[in-house]
Homo-oligomer: A and B are copies of this chain.
Amino acid sequence: MQTSVAISPPGKLKIIDALRTLLEERTFESLTISDIAVAAGVTEGLIYKYFKGKRDILHHVLKEHYDHFLVQIDRDLQGIDGALNKLRKIIWSSIERYANHRVFARIILLEVRNSEEYFHSEAYELVRQFNRILLDIIKEGIASGEIRDNIPPAYIRNAIFGTIEHSCLNRAIFNEPVSTNDAARIITELLLNGIKR
């Protein structure tokens, strides 16, 4: 054993990269294992050396994306003070991610939800992790008095997450453009102050 951290073999990375590239043009369902193997320059058999099945490759593509996302989020939050300011930033960063990484958006909003395995995958574990970050900020805001304390934090998180995802859905499905700055400003304003006049 050379290092304690497992380093991915080149074949595995080629497969993940190939799928990510293919997903820019085509839907996951429409792709065959053979398509992915050809694009990766490997044989179909090798795929099953590294992945449990077709779905598993997709989960790894998502995991890679989400890894980058979490690193970025972490960085984005550095130096920001106050729960509300952090929420503003996190809303902006999330929308930016969905708007500028269409493959990521399509995978997480459309392609993975229909399989049980996803909810037990490493990728979904990262989603939970993000959820926890969001939840902690909300709790911090309640503790500091910035956020009202008569709404359960989980509901606030669901509202933020749900609003963002739903707002980016049409973009993912029909490729309708989204202006990150506009969307972030509007959604933040809406969630912080409500819709009542």
Q: Which residues of A contact B (CB under 8 A)?
A: 27-29, 84, 109-116, 119, 145-152, 155-156, 158-159, 161-167, 173-174, 183, 186-187, 189-197
Q: Nearest chain B CB to A71's CB is how many angstroms away?
A: 24
Contact of A162 among B111, B114, B164, B173 (CB under 8 A): B164
Copies in the complex: 2
Contacts A155-B167, A162-B163, A166-B162 given: A192-B195 contact, CB under 8 Å? yes
In the bound complex, CA of A111 to CA of B167 (Å): 20
Q: Is the CB of B29 within 8 A of A114?
A: yes
Nearest B-chain residue to A142, judged by Cβ: B197
Nearest B-chain residue to A30, judged by Cβ: B116
Contact of A145 among B165, B195, B197 (CB under 8 A): B197
CB neighbours of A156 from chain B (8 A)? 190, 195
CB neighbours of A183 from chain B (8 A)? 155
Contacts A84-B196, A165-B166, A190-B151 given: A119-B158 contact, CB under 8 Å? no
In the bound complex, CA of A109 to CA of B114 (Å): 9
Q: Is the CB of B192 within 8 A of A194?
A: yes
CB neighbours of A113 from chain B (8 A)? 109-110, 113-114
